[in-house]
Amino acid sequence: MAQLTTEELQSIKNLQSKYNQAIFELGAAEAQLIAIEEQSEKIKKSKKGLVSDLVTIEKQESELIASLQEKYGQGNIDINTGEITPIQ
């Protein structure tokens, strides 16, 4: 019966080891991609909520401006003092 040399057997074992390591690393990379995709989805949902909040804030701002203009007329407001300088 024929038998492989020690070097040939070691070459096969080395290749199997490299193959197994590559498979392991591929699995680890896939797991990282899944985690990144999940995080990306969470960020997208958060962004969507923030955009919705921004639209609501802009609407509230427009309503407040209209209310203040109705009460005080057109003017510039000093945010620090609350003083209104009419626009002429």
> How many other CB atoms sit within 10 Å of the CB of residue 77?
13
36, two tokens? 């990144």
- Alpha-carbon distance of 83 to 43, in angstroms, equals 41
In tens digits, the chain (88 residues) has pLDDT values of 999 999 999 999 999 999 999 999 999 999 999 999 999 999 999 999 999 999 999 999 999 999 999 999 999 999 999 999 998 7
- Alpha-carbon distance of 10 to 12, in angstroms, equals 5
State the pLDDT at residue 88.
76
3-state secondary structure of 1: coil
Tell me, what DSSP letter sits at residue 79? Answer: T
**Pair 76, 85: CB distance under 8 Å:** yes
Answer whether 0.75 is exceeded by the pTM.
no
